[in-house]
Amino acid sequence: MSLLNEERKLTNLFDGTEWNVYQSKLLNLGVGAPGTDLLQYCGDIFCKATEHRMKIDKEENLSMLFQYGPTSGIYEARFEIAKYFTQMYGSEVKCEDLIITSGATQGLQLILSTLVDLNGYVFVDEYTYMLALDCMKQFQTLNIVSVKLNKNGVDLDDLEQQLKEKQFKSEKKEFWAMYYTIPTYHNPTGIHFSPEVCEALVKLARKYDFLISCDDVYNILCYKGMKVQKRLFAYDAKDDADYKGHVISNGSFSKILGPGVRLGWMEVPRRMKTLLDSSGFINSGGCLNNYTSGIVASLFQLGLAQQHIQRMFDAYKERMLATCEVFERDLPAGCQIITPEGGYFIWISLGENGKASEFLKMCMEEEKIFFIVGSRFALHPDKRDNSFRLSIAFHSKDKLIDAAERICRCLKKYLNN
């Protein structure tokens, strides 16, 4: 693989594939990443933050940023993250609950390998982030179980039924099972879990003593109303009489600063923090992304991160609202759109008779537009072929409006054939 990379001089994750989002022959609406127009500011602000941090590190800090970092991450980075997200969430994020990661993907890998019985269970939504599924499948002894989803979140009856059937006592790890989800602006469906579902989920987690791992990577991208949704982690209230700590909030700067920064954090209950902090994986390397966390701390101290996040937010919001407006107006009868209140994704269902894979083929041939079919997000892909996911993150508003109009025209033709 590395040889191939060297020979082909690949520049990004999408490079070298038929669906390269940077090539103009095809409009790729599959990619959940910001485009050049948003990332172009990173160079300048990271230069300023680096200069700021290097000065401190050299003059006051014995070049500690270049040493193995403390397992949870340096205080300044955790402090700045806690301060910013406390303000954004409108609910306290505690510095001492945080572990710095190199992104939500690494967080998930660490959670799976450290906290969950490898002969145990991972419950996932019937549609879920496809690459998280790929991560889980690599733990070949884990049993992955799909749970129904509805417009308010996970189907609690289905989840409880499965918990009852599968429950066992783990002798080896803290948890016999984990439920993995994206409760806020879900990938791929765009839904957010209702407060009732969140409350009930925490009760279930306490009753059956399983872990809930939330990828909270879209939470602050809230386009409707002024308030960011309360994250599931906050429903697991520490002052409840039966509190033990069952939820992890796995956050990331990928969608709000840039994916290449590879920086994230996990908000973790005390009992799990001790286990994660003492894992060989973190201890061997120290903080999972020490250097970058120091630069990002400066980015916040200088106010540059806040400005950049606001700029990205404004662009995403404009793109999402404009694209949804077209679909709401032009989608043919029988199709359904879940209009998301935030995040990156629009989920469209073709109704009883549509097949997303057939429609994708037609859309690529006739309109040169690519998107991801719903089956890619399902544990059992063969059964699910009537929906697809579009991302608003990468392309400009005008391109997205044009694409949405063409998709609707193509859909009418497809469904009338």
Ligand X SMILES: Cc1ncc(COP(=O)(O)O)c(C=O)c1O
Shortest Cβ 405–ligand X spacing (Å): 26
- Asked if 104 interacts with ligand X (CB under 6 A), we say yes
Min separation Cβ 131 and ligand X, Å: 7
Say which residue the tokens 């980075």 belong to: 77
Nearer to ligand X, 186 or 273 (CB): 186
**Secondary structure (3-state) at 195:** helix
CB of 345 to ligand X, least distance (A): 8
Show the tokens assigned to 142. 């884990």
Residue among 275, 193, 189, 274 nearest 234 (CA): 193
Q: What is the DSSP letter of 370?
A: E
Q: Are 391 and 313 in contact (CB under 8 A)?
A: no
Nearest to ligand X of 70, 259 (CB atom): 259
> Would you say 99 or 331 has its CB closer to ligand X?
99
> Rounded CA gap, 310 and 305, in Å?
9
Give the interface segment with ligand X, choosing from 62-70, 103-111, 298-306, 381-389 (CB under 6 A). Answer: 103-111
Q: Which of 219, 252, 290, 293 binds ligand X (CB under 6 A)?
A: 252
Q: How far is C-alpha 310 from the geometric centre of its chain's CA atoms?
A: 18
Residue 293 is a binding residue for ligand X (CB under 6 A): no
Min dist. Cβ of residue 363 to ligand X (A): 22
- The stretch among 87-95, 99-107, 192-200, 374-382 that binds ligand X (CB under 6 A) is 99-107
Helix 75-89 to helix 290-301 angle, to the nearest 10 degrees?
50
Does 327 bind ligand X (CB under 6 A)? Our answer is no
Q: Contact 183/149 with Cβ under 8 angstroms? A: no
**For ligand X, the closer CB: 104 or 331:** 104
Nearer to ligand X, 103 or 245 (CB): 103
Q: Binder to ligand X among 154, 214, 217, 348 (CB under 6 A)?
A: 217
In angstroms, the CA 382 to CA 377 distance is 11
Nearest distance, CB of residue 314 and ligand X, angstroms: 20
Report the relative pairing of strands 372-373 and 211-215 from DSSP bridges: unpaired
Q: Is 21 in the site for ligand X (CB under 6 A)?
A: no
Number of residues near ligand X (by CB under 6 A): 13
Annotate each residue in 182-211 with x if it binds ligand X (CB under 6 A) or - if it does not, as one string: x----x------------------------
Beta pairing, strands 98-101 & 264-267: antiparallel
CA-nearest of 375, 362, 316 to 340 is 316
Rounded Cα gap, residues 35 and 31, in angstroms = 9
Phi and psi based region of residue 334 (left: phi greater than 0; alpha: psi -120 to 50; beta: remaining):
left
The least distance separating ligand X from the CB of residue 215, rounded to whole angstroms, comes to: 4
d(CA 320, CA 173): 42
Contact status: 292 vs ligand X (CB under 6 A): no
Instruction: Give the integer Cα–Cα distance in Å for 38 and 309.
Output: 10
| Rounded-to-integer distance, Cα 341 and Cα 360, Å | 25
Question: Which residues in 23-52 contact ligand X (CB under 6 A)?
Answer: 32
Distant-in-sequence, close-in-space partners of 276: CB < 8 Å, separation ≥ 6: 99, 110, 111, 114, 115, 266, 268, 282
* Cβ–Cβ < 8 Å for 200, 155: no
- Binding residues among 115-134 for ligand X as defined by CB under 6 A: 129
Should residue 215 be labelled a site residue for ligand X when binding is judged by CB under 6 A? yes
When binding is defined by CB under 6 A, the residue of 69, 190, 264, 342 that contacts ligand X is 264
Structure tokens at 133: 């599924």
Name which position in 35, 70, 259, 332 contacts ligand X (CB under 6 A).
259
> Among the residues of 41-129, which ranges form H helices?
42-59, 75-89, 104-115
> Nearer Cβ to ligand X, position 202 or 261?
261
**141-160 residues near ligand X, rule: CB under 6 A:** none
Tell me how far, at minimum, the Cβ of 218 lies from ligand X, in Å.
7
> Min. distance of Cβ 34 from ligand X in angstroms?
11
**By the rule CB under 6 A, 228 interacts with ligand X:** no
What counts of helices (H) and strands (E) characterise the chain? Answer: 15, 15
73 sits near ligand X (criterion: CB under 6 A): no
Q: Per rule CB under 6 A, is residue 326 in the interface with ligand X? A: no
Q: Applying CB under 6 A, which part among 97-105, 157-165, 240-248, 400-408 lies near ligand X?
A: 97-105
Looking at the DSSP assignment, which residues form a beta bridge with residue 345? 391
- Least distance from C-beta 283 to ligand X, angstroms? 22
Residue placing its CB nearer to ligand X in the complex, 77 or 326: 77
Which chain residues interact with ligand X by CB under 6 A?
32, 103-105, 129, 182, 187, 215, 217, 252, 254, 259, 264
